[in-house]
């Protein structure tokens, strides 16, 4: 790693302390300085990874306006935030979901969560790349690719995938461009990119954070959440974006469930906790399992009691049911969203988007197709009995008979598992190549919170540790994640190497034995 790059990464990693909310009012232009520094980091680092779609040209103006205000500084004063580009923000930038079809989607309106960020004195720096349409267009997709942004790359090895769909948000944080970004998840789209990019990601309980003015997939499973350099920053961002939004009925109880997330961060949070170890969700790889066992040792040393859970009844039935739910809700929810877009957006329905992709196939469909879109267009609507039965089945298996039952039967406070294997290679010929276990889908389908924190690395590629709990247990999970983070100190910095096969310890082992 060059000294310049190391300096940039260390600068952003300590930004929370340098520009804390209690910064003296006499300190000049802190928001402005933070914005200029973040912009410089993006311009220096992003050509390597293509995580940022566009910088907001009003960012410095935002920062200067914040610095001029004569008021108590907000919780995110001095923080510069990037948004996944399916989240609307007032200003000149379009909200594209990575699709050429939405290049004209300049709405001049803030999503409520963005308004909350601004209200806490955060600067919105710009938009991040994502897996196009949040990775719902095709089962043969290449995570991290979009027609607008091209391919985002993993900063730990540039030939490795950053995972989707919040790929740019996670890669930008991992690279040190910003301290925090906002991602969205339907199933794995915050936690997977956070894990394989070696950062913290929190998928909140569905209904804790508003989804209004966010390009949707599924009203049953969609949520936005923070991706951050550390647990403290994630908790700080969640404290700001959580809350009821009258335009999103799922959030009607959010205010009643908000906790003091920062107060939950204590190094002793794991003492006396009972943690279920999801053995059925291991098996990504031998090396990943070895790192997981080391993480379990840390949990025990911090005072947690571990209970092995080896199976979950009917888990294999969730996939088919979830697929029908997502396909059905995608058509209904996306059509409803597109109807609210400006007249400059000519694609007013999912059917229009399918036709647009066909007409622009040379760019949009050259690497993979849109078979999921086509299947979604063929669904029968939210009153379809098959859809309703699928939602009830998947929710029961993942929630009542899944996470809830595992916690109750063993008197547990939370569940843990490896989040994902190390990042796989970008493969334009075959699409994403990944197999194995995992438990994130349970939390996604149930709508329950899921936190991933760095737990170490496999040959220099990060892997994450998942903490999963019941609805509204974000404070508890953040406390556990913080205690683990402080004890394990498992986070590593990226080297932006071309490939792990080109450096030690891999490279010498790939050469023939000298005789």
Q: Which residue among 169, 189, 417, 473 is the active-site one?
A: 189
CB atoms within 10 A of CB 92: 11
CA distance 371 to 323: 13
DSSP state of 224: E
DSSP-based three-state secondary structure for 422: coil
Q: Catalytic residue at 84?
A: yes
Catalytic, out of 30, 99, 165, 167: 165
* CB burial of residue 410 (10 Å; 0-12, 13-18, 19+): middle
Greatest Cα pair distance in the chain: 74
- For 198, the enclosing helix (H) or strand (E) is none
DSSP H helices, 176-250, are: 191-196, 231-241
Coil, strand or helix at 209: strand
Strand, coil or helix: what is 53?
A: strand
CB of 80 closer than 8 Å to CB of 122: yes
Three-state SS annotation for 30-47 = HHHHHHHHHHHHHHHHHH
Q: Is residue 185 a contact partner of residue 225, using CB atoms and an 8 Å limit?
A: yes
Q: How far apart, in whole angstroms, are the C-alpha atoms of residue 394 and residue 411? A: 23
Active-site annotation holds for 189: yes
Q: Does residue 146 have an active-site annotation?
A: no
Q: Which pair of structure tokens corresponds to residue 193? A: 């990119």
The residue with tokens 């933070």 is 34
CA 25 to chain centre: 33
- DSSP for 86-147, please give it: TB--SSS----TT-GGGTT-------HHHHHHHHTT-EEEEEE--SHHHHTS-TT--TTEET
Q: Are 119 and 131 in contact (CB under 8 A)?
A: no
Name, in order, each residue with C-beta under 8 angstroms of 68's C-beta and a sequence gap of 6 or more.
Answer: none
Inter-helix orientation angle 231-241/474-488, to 10°: 160
CA dist., res. 136 & res. 443, Å (int): 18
Q: Are 171 and 154 in contact (CB under 8 A)?
A: yes
Nearest to 59 by CA among 85, 80, 45: 80
296 is written with which tokens? Answer: 């379990």
What is the separation, in whole angstroms, between the first and last Cα of the chain?
33
Query: Which pair of structure tokens corresponds to residue 400?
Result: 């009542």
Active site residue ranges: 84, 165, 189
């Amino acid at each position: 790693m060059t000294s310049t790059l190391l300096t940039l990464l260390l600068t952003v990693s300590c930004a929370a302390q340098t520009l804390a909310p209690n910064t003296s009012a006499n300190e000049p232009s802190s928001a402005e300085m933070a914005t200029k520094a973040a912009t410089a980091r993006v311009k220096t680092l992003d050509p390597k990874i293509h995580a940022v779609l566009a910088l907001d040209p009003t960012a410095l103006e935002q920062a200067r306006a914040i610095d001029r205000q004569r008021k108590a500084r907000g919780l995110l004063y001095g923080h510069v935030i990037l948004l996944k580009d399916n989240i609307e923000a007032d200003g000149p930038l379009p909200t594209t979901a990575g699709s050429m079809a939405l290049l004209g989607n300049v709405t001049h309106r803030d999503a409520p969560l963005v308004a909350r960020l601004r209200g806490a004195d955060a600067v919105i720096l710009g938009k991040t790349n994502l897996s196009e349409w949040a990775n719902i267009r095709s089962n043969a997709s290449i995570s991290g690719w979009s027609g607008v942004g091209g391919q985002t790359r993993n900063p730990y090895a540039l030939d490795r995938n950053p995972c989707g769909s919040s790929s740019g948000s996670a890669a930008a944080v991992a690279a040190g461009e910003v301290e925090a970004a906002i991602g969205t998840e339907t199933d794995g789209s915050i936690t997977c990119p956070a894990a394989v990019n070696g950062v913290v990601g929190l998928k909140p309980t569905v209904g804790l954070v508003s989804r209004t003015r966010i390009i949707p997939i599924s009203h049953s499973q969609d949520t936005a959440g923070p991706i951050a350099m550390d647990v403290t920053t994630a908790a700080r961002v969640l404290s700001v974006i959580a809350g009821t939004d009258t335009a999103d009925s799922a959030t009607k109880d959010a205010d009643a469930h908000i906790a003091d997330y920062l107060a939950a961060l204590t190094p002793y949070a794991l003492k006396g906790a009972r943690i279920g170890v999801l053995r059925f969700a291991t098996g990504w790889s031998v090396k990943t399992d070895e790192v997981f066992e080391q993480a379990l040792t840390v949990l025990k040393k911090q005072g947690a009691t571990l209970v092995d859970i080896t199976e979950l009844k009917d888990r294999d039935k969730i996939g088919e049911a979830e697929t029908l739910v997502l396909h059905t809700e995608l058509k209904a929810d996306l059509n409803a969203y597109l109807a609210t877009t400006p007249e400059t957006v000519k694609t007013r329905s999912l059917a229009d988007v399918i036709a647009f992709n066909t007409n622009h196939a040379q760019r949009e469909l050259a690497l993979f197709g849109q078979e999921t879109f086509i299947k979604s267009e063929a669904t029968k609507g939210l009153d379809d009995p098959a859809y309703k039965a699928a939602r009830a089945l998947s929710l029961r298996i993942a929630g009542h008979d899944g996470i809830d039952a595992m916690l109750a039967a063993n008197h547990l406070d939370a569940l843990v598992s490896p989040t994902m294997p190390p990042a796989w290679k970008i493969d334009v010929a075959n699409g994403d190549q990944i197999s194995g276990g995992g438990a994130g889908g349970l939390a996604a389908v149930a709508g329950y919170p899921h936190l991933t924190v760095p737990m170490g690395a496999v040959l220099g590629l990060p892997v994450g540790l998942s903490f999963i709990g019941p609805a509204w247990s974000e404070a508890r999970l953040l406390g556990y994640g913080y205690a683990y983070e402080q004890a394990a100190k498992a986070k590593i910095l990226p080297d932006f190497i071309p490939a792990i096969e080109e450096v030690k310890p891999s490279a010498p082992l790939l050469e023939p034995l000298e005789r």
